[in-house]
Chains A and B, each alone.
Chain A
């Protein structure tokens, strides 16, 4: 009796265990054509909205797009699986490992898939008139060794936000254009009782963006014109020495190396910050905090405002495993020439990647500085495989360059860049 009981218990435990084990990743599903010339495209997309169930969720957005598409092309169904940004890379990696490769993927990077030959070339899945309308500089970054694989999907750019009320209180007539003007304005704001005249988030969340914007202001960058890493170039060291001066004078966010951009944007929204670099995506944060009277201007550089800005873009790409090139082409053309691309800009405050899209939005005053800077944007050197190793190191340590010795901190990062890989 005891023996039977023990065995039964043992068996029960095993069953529980094995059922736990098999729970893993679902959502794959069979996506092959289902007879009658009907083709179902499987698409995986990142969620730009506030998650499932919210009015701006990715599911709602894509359902609108695909319903309209299927109405025009009854033979093609598009099945969209929306995944949040935190999980999409891991889940797609799992799909690729398991051979459940989608037809279309929309996410933050494409270059990792090129090496293994998983992607269609852009001209196989996009009509020439659509690819011709893409912003040249953006499309250029979709190429690996001269062949385009990634299609720019949406973009984002940065500009200087300033609090008009605080500027008035400190008697500053207009937003600064040069570093000297920026410092003078910051001093006036400080004298007027503003605790953070310039919001400077060099903490882990996005230190690489803020740093890059400052580097651009002095003709610097992560790489030099010849494509070599130049993190500790004389220009960059000069830039960070200038920033350190601002920090030491108490004209910025305290201890910038520990502050995330979200915190600083919220402080700006709360009226504690005079100026801050931000993008269209920070507008909802400022709105939510109740700040209304702010302006947007080009980012000041050492001798004059930047004629470029940091551009960040997301990508859409087509996998070649299921051989649906013709259908994918129809869908991509539909997406870029129809209302969908504009709808995504309107819904999520993301910027378009086509000349046509920019024209359509040019009436929006708050977006104008971003749109103006977009065609001449600068990008992270994300195509360099070392960037993936370097980026986390920058996020963690570059804040030290405005606290300790700039040359030393940037020199360490330069070493990391040259050694990584």
Chain B
């Protein structure tokens, strides 16, 4: 009895320390998140309410003036709308193409390993580099894509307006989307490929026994079971594409005018003239990403049971 009495507090003390143990493990991560994620967000929001000089000297509070100025920009509404269209177009195309590619790469065929490796290339290359290379290939005077178009008789001569697809928003935008899809497809395909690998073979067997056709199997088995992977892949793409900067910047600078600019590009341009207004744009951008994410998660019912 007595020995038990003596032991009990010691146990309790150890339990108290033990309760703190997770903190030792989680603590660094919390500090890391606070330092690397939360602090910049706070700083960003704070500077959007400050008046900041061109040389970086803070001149005091600006109230909502930065926001008022931003919302009064002539091109603001267009830029925001274009950003949403840009995200929807790039992510939708990326997911569709990746679904097909993942299905293909999940089959057994000769040199599959090589093909899978090759798919990594656009992912491994720097996005900025890819964008610059596409800009070169579209150069009106010497670009290889225009030389091919010339040979095919699609344009009459090099150097003219017809050969200058990046010079006009109507033809530049599809190219920008194309390059963005090109660099997003590898990651998405691999995420989906991983998802496909988790679907057990016996489910397909059962479906075959029940006499389900190929389309039916894909629609009722593959897609629903792929949903977790699909949701994560699409969500990461939404955020990446919304914040995507190098492709548009390297290929068009958002020009002509602001007609190929997204909100990230506008934010960068504003930084050259008014840091406070640029910070306000960042905050709006940040809010947009959160809204898009929430809408996306709602639509995809991500936390519901797999059907």
Task: Determine whether the beta carbon of B141 is less than 8 Å from that of A389.
Answer: no
User: In the complex, A397 Cα to B24 Cα: how many Å?
Assistant: 55
Q: Choose from A2, A9, A195 the contact partner of B28 (Cβ within 8 Å).
A: A9
Q: Which residue of B lies closest to A194 (CB)?
A: B159
Nearest A-chain residue to B258, judged by Cβ: A396
Question: Which residues of A sit under 8 angstroms from B272, Cβ to Cβ?
Answer: 391-392
Q: Which residues of B contact A396 (CB under 8 A)?
A: 253-255, 257-258, 269
Chain A interface, >50% SS class: helix
The answer to whether A17 and B31 touch (CB under 8 A), given A112-B54, A203-B255, is yes
The segment from B120-128, B160-168, B198-206, B296-304 found at the interface with A is B160-168
Q: Which of B35, B141, B161 has the most CB of A within 10 A?
A: B141
Within the assembled complex, what's the spacing in Å between the Cα atoms of A7 and B27?
A: 9
* Interface 1/0 per residue, B111-146 and A, CB below 8 Å: 000000000000000000000000000001110000
CB contact list, A1-33 vs B, under 8 A: 2-3, 6-7, 9-10, 13-14, 17, 21
Interface 9-residue window, one of A144-152, A226-234, A251-259, A364-372: A251-259
Q: Mark A252-279, 1 if CB is under 8 A from B, else 0.
A: 0011011100000001001010000000
Q: A272-B141, A396-B257 are in contact. Are A10 and B166 (CB under 8 A)?
A: no
Known A258-B252, A267-B141; judge A400-B21 contact (CB<8 A): no
Q: Taking the complex as formed, is A196 at the interface, i.e. its CB lies under 8 A from any CB of chain B?
A: yes
**A204 within 8 Å of B (CB atoms):** yes
**Is A140 an interface residue, CB under 8 A from the partner?**
no
- Do A96 and B255 touch across chains, with their CB atoms under 8 A apart? no
Q: B233-264: which residues lie under 8 A (CB-CB) from chain A?
A: 252-258
Q: Is the CB of B160 within 8 A of A250?
A: yes
Indicate which residue in A89, A116, A250, A403 contacts B256 across the interface (CB closer than 8 Å): A403
> What residues of chain A lie closer than 8 Å to B53, measured between beta carbons?
112
By a CB distance below 8 angstroms, the chain B residues around A392 are 269-270, 272-273
A191 sits at the interface (CB 8 A): no
Find out whether the CB atom of A399 lies under 8 angstroms from the CB atom of B255: yes
Contact of A412 with B by CB under 8 A: yes
**Complex Cα spacing A266 to B56, Å:** 35
How far apart are A57's CB and chain B's nearest CB, in angstroms?
25
| Neighbouring B residues of A257 by C-beta, 8 Å | 167, 255-257
Q: Kindly provide the distance from the CB of A138 to the nearest chain B CB, expressed in whole angstroms.
A: 23
Asked if B32 CB lies within 8 Å of chain A CBs, one says yes
A97 to B57, CA, bound (A): 8
**How does the 8 Å CB contact mask read for B55-72 relative to A, with 1 for contact and 0 for none?**
111000000000000000
CB distance from B85 to the nearest CB of A (A): 20
Q: Are A258 and B167 in contact (CB under 8 A)?
A: yes
Cα(A2)–Cα(B24), bound, Å: 10
* CB closest chain-B residue, reference A409: B257
Chain B residues with CB under 8 Å of A258's CB are 164, 166-167, 252-253, 255-256
A305–B53 alpha-carbon span in the complex (Å): 40
Q: Provide the residues of chain A in CB contact with B25, threshold 8 Å.
A: 6, 9-10
Tell me whether B55 and A400 are in contact (CB under 8 A). Answer: no
Residues 1-31 of chain B, each 1 if its beta carbon lies under 8 Å from chain A, else 0: 0000000000000000110010011011001
Is residue A393 contacting chain B, with contact meaning CB distance below 8 A? yes
Does B158 interact with chain A (Cβ within 8 Å)? yes
Contact A195 B269 (CB under 8 A): no
Residues of chain A contacted by B214 (CB below 8 angstroms)? none
Q: What does the 1/0 interface line of B263-278 toward A look like (CB < 8 Å)?
A: 0000001101110000
Least CB distance from B156 to A in Å reads 11
Q: What chain A residues lie within 8 Å of B258 (beta carbons)?
A: 396-397
Q: What is the chain A residue whose CB lies nearest that of B162?
A: A254
Say yes or no for A281: interface residue by CB 8 A criterion: no
In-complex Cβ contact of A254 among B35, B56, B163, B269 (8 A): B163
- Judge whether B74 is part of the interface by a CB distance below 8 angstroms: yes
CA distance A67 to B53 in the complex (A): 38
Report Cα–Cα, A17/B257, bound state, in Å: 42
Contact A13 B159 (CB under 8 A): no
Residues of A within 8 A of B163 (CB): 254
Residues in A with CB closer than 8 Å to B57 are 97, 116
**Residues of B with C-beta under 8 A to A2:** 21
A400 and B257 within 8 A (CB): yes
Determine if A184 is an interface residue (Cβ-Cβ < 8 Å): no
* Choice from A14, A97, A113, A259 contacting B31 with Cβ under 8 Å: A14
Complex-state Cα separation, A255 to B279, whole angstroms: 31
A112-124 CB contact bits vs B (8 Å, 1 = yes)? 1100100000000
Q: In the bound complex, do residue A255 and residue B256 qualify as a contact, i.e. CB atoms below 8 Å apart?
A: yes
The reply to whether A250 and B28 contact each other, CB–CB distance below 8 Å, is no
Q: Are B21 and A204 in contact (CB under 8 A)?
A: no
Q: Does B92 contact A (CB under 8 A)?
A: no
Beta-carbon contact of B269 and A3 below 8 Å? no
A400 pairs with B167, CB closer than 8 A = no
B157 at the interface (CB under 8 A from A): yes
* Inter-chain contact B158/A255, CB cutoff 8 Å: no
The proximity string for A residues 269-306 relative to B, scoring 1 for CB distances below 8 Å and 0 otherwise, is: 01010000000000000000000000000000000000
Does B54 lie within 8 Å of A204, measured CB to CB?
A: no
Chain B contacts for A9, CB-based, 8 A: 24-25, 28
Q: How far is the CA of A123 from the CA of B274 in the complex (A)?
A: 34
State in angstroms the CA–CA spacing of A373 and B25 once bound together: 71
A323 to B57, CA, bound (A): 24
Contacts of B21 in A (CB 8 A): 2-3, 6
B256 touches A400 (CB 8 A): yes
Measured in the bound complex, the distance between the Cα atoms of B56 and A113 in whole Å is 12
Given contacts A13-B28, A93-B55, A255 and B161 within 8 Å (CB-CB): yes
Please state if B54 and A6 are interface contacts (CB–CB under 8 Å): no
Q: What chain A residues lie within 8 Å of B27 (beta carbons)?
A: 10
Task: Enumerate chain B residues within 8 angstroms of A400, measured Cβ to Cβ.
Answer: 256-257
Residue of B18, B56, B160, B256 with most chain A CB atoms under a 10 A cut-off = B256
The distance in angstroms between the C-alpha atoms of A201 and B142, with both chains bound, is 17
B254 closest partner in A (C-beta): A396
CA distance A115 to B37 in the complex (A): 36
Decide: A3 near B17, CB < 8 A? Known: A254-B140, A255-B168: yes
CA distance A13 to B166 in the complex (A): 47
Residues on A with beta carbons closer than 8 Å to the beta carbon of B17: 3
Residues 395-411 of A, flagged 1 when their CB comes within 8 A of B and 0 if not, give: 01101100100000000
A-B contact pairs, 9 of them (CB 8 A): A6-B24, A13-B28, A17-B28, A93-B55, A93-B56, A254-B161, A270-B142, A388-B273, A397-B258
- Add 6 more A-B contacts to A258-B164, A388-B54, A399-B255 (CB < 8 A): A9-B25, A13-B32, A258-B255, A270-B141, A270-B142, A389-B274
Cβ-closest 4 pairs across A and B: A255-B167, A195-B159, A6-B24, A13-B28
